[in-house]
Amino acid sequence: MKPATVRLVVLVTVVALVLGTIGVAISALTSGSGSGSSDGSGWTPAPTGAADPGAREAPAADLQEFYDQTVDWQRCSGEGDFECAQVEVPLDYADPDAESIELALLRAPATDPEARIGSLLVNPGGPGAPGTTYAAQSSQAFRPELTRVYDIVGFDPRGTGSSSPVDCVPDAALDRYLAQDPVPDSDAEAGDLVFLTRAFNRGCVERSGEIAAHVSTAEAARDLDVLRAALDEDTLTYFGASYGTQLGATYAELFPDRVGRMVLDGGVDVTLDARESSLGQARGFETALRAYVQNCVDAGDCFLGDSVEAGLERISGLLDDLDAKPLPTQDGREVGPGTAFLGIATPLYNRTYWDLLDQALQRAFDGDGTVLQLLADSYASRGPDGYLDNSTEAIVAVRCLDDPASVPAGRIPEEFAAFDEAAPTFGRVFAWGLLGCVGYSARSEEEPLDIRGEGAAPILVIGTTRDPATPYEWSVALADTLESGVLLTRDGDGHTGYNAGNACVDEIVEAYLIDGTVPEDGQRC
C-alpha cells in the first residue's frame, strides 16, 4: 500500500528518464537524506518548545533511558535546509536492557519559526517506505499552510531505510523476484513462483539477523512514542498515509492518552485478515483501472477501444501476450506480465499520472516495454544503478510479522472464483499473492491487538472513493473501529486524499491540524 505522495518524485523521475534527463531527477530524489553533519554555514536548529515533564515518563521503568533522550539535530549532508538525527530504541521492547538500534530522522523546519506549533511526525506507508524521504519532499507532499507552522519530521521505521534495514536478496535476485510471472498457468510456472517466493522470504530472515523478528507494527508504534518524547511533545501530532494509518491506529490503541491531532489518510481496515485484505485491494485496483479506461473512452478516440469492456479486454490481452513474448526495453531488460502489472498499477495511485499510463500502454502495443519498465521501477524504488531503498523487502518483513499467513499453492486455484469476481483483470495476481509468508520463519512476540483507541482524542480518517490501494470501504471501517474516529470522504481517484487537488479536503485537514477544529463525522468533499 505504497502512497502516491512519497512516490511523487520517483514518478517525476520516470518522466525525466523518458525525456533523457536522468541525472537531475535522481539527485532530486536523494538530496537531503543521509547522516547529519554541520557545515559551518551559520545554520542553527529549529526551536523547540518545553514540554510537560510528565511527557517523558516511560510506560515502564526499564524504558526510561530511551524516553529521556533529546534529539541532537544536525544539518543533513546534501542540498536543502534539512536537519538529521538518530534516536535510540530497544531492539526488543520485552528486553530493553539488551541490544538497541537507531532510527534515522529528518526534519524540515517550519518555514515561519515565529508561527511554529510543533512537530508533525509523518509516515508515508508501505510498510517499508522511508519517512526521511517523505519529509525531504514535504514541500510537495504538504501544502504551505502546514509547512509554515509545523516541523515536518520523517523517520525511517525500524527495518527500513537507514534504520537497521532488513535485506532479503541481492539486487539481481530482487529483479528476478519482481519480474516473475504473478499468474502461473502451468505446474512448472507455479513451482517457480513458489520457489522464488520461499527463497525471498527465507532470505529476509537469513540475511537480516535479529531485526527480522522485530519490525512489527506494534514495535514501530512503540518507537513512535519514544520519538514523541524525544521531540519534547506532550502528545503525538501525526500524519500517516496508507499503511501509516495502521501504524497510527496501533499507536492510538497502545497510547490513547498521548494521541494529539492525528490524520489517517487512506485508511487500512485493521480488522481484516490477509485473504480479505487481498480481495479488497483486488477490487480497489479493478475499480481504479475501470475509472482510468472510462476516462479514456469519455475523452473520445480512445486508443484502448470504444468502451470500458473493450479497453479492459485489450489490457488483459497485452498481459496474456507478454507471458509468451516479453517486450524489449531500452536498457536491455525484458517486460513480462509481472513487470507489466506493476507498470500498469503504479500510475493508478494518482490521477495525475494517467497520461504516463497512456504513454506506457501505447508504446507497449507498439512493441516497446520501456515506459512500463520505468513505471515498475518507480514502484520498487529502483534507479538506473540499483535500488534506492529497501521498501520492497521491508514490506514483506513487516507484513509477515504482523500476519504470517500463507495459503499452499495447491489450494490457491480454489480462490480463483472469488478473486475473478472481485477483479476480472487483476484478480488472479492477488489470489497468487496469498502465498504470502511461505518460508518466513521469524515470528513476533507481540500479542495481537483489538484496536479501538478507547480514550483517544478525535482522530481524522480520510477515505477516497476510488482509491486503488486502500479501498474507500477500509477508511469507513477504520473510522468506525476507532472509538474517536471521524470520517472525511473525498470523492475522487487515486490513493489518499490530502493535497490531491480537492480544496475542501485540504482546508478541513489544515483546520484540524493547525486550529484543532474537528469536522463533522461523515462530511464529504
Write out the catalytic residue numbers: 242, 467, 495
Which residues are CB-neighbours of 358 under 8 A, at least 6 positions away? 296, 303
CA-to-CA distance for 252 and 225, rounded, in angstroms? 10
Pairing verdict, β 327-328 and 334-335: antiparallel
Helix residue spans in 403-471 (DSSP H): 416-422, 427-432
370-379 and 354-365 helices, crossing angle to 10°: 140
C-alpha cell at 328: 524489449
End-to-end CA distance of the chain: 23
Rg (CA), the chain: 22
Based on the number of CB atoms within 10 Å of its own CB, is 42 exposed (0-12), middle (13-18) or buried (19 or more)? exposed
- The phi, psi pair for 78, rounded to 5°, reads 95, -170
Which residues are CB-neighbours of 473 under 8 A, at least 6 positions away? 269, 280
Which residue pairs, CB below 8 angstroms and at least 24 apart, start in 365-370? 365/303, 365/318, 367/327, 367/328, 368/327, 368/328, 368/329, 368/330, 369/326, 369/327, 369/328, 369/329, 369/334, 369/335, 369/339, 369/340, 370/18, 370/329, 370/330, 370/331
Half-sphere exposure of 2 toward its Cβ, with a 13 Å CA cutoff? 26
CB environment 490-509: b (16+ within 10 A), e (fewer): bebbbbbbbbbebeebbebb
CA-to-CA distance for 333 and 175, rounded, in angstroms? 10
**Which of 525, 374, 387 lies closest to 462 in space, CA to CA?**
525
CA-to-CA distance for 64 and 84, rounded, in angstroms? 23
C-alpha cell at 262: 492525528
CA-to-CA distance for 134 and 154, rounded, in angstroms? 6
Concatenated DSSP letters of 198-210: HHHHHHHHHHHGG
Contact 523, 508 (CB under 8 A): yes
> How many Cβ atoms from other residues are within 10 Å of residue 432's Cβ?
25
283 vs 57, 97, 105, 349, CA distance in Å? 45, 46, 35, 14
Q: Which residues pair with residue 464 across a beta bridge? A: 490
276 vs 272, 473, 487, CA distance in Å? 6, 12, 22
CA-to-CA distance for 498 and 502, rounded, in angstroms? 8
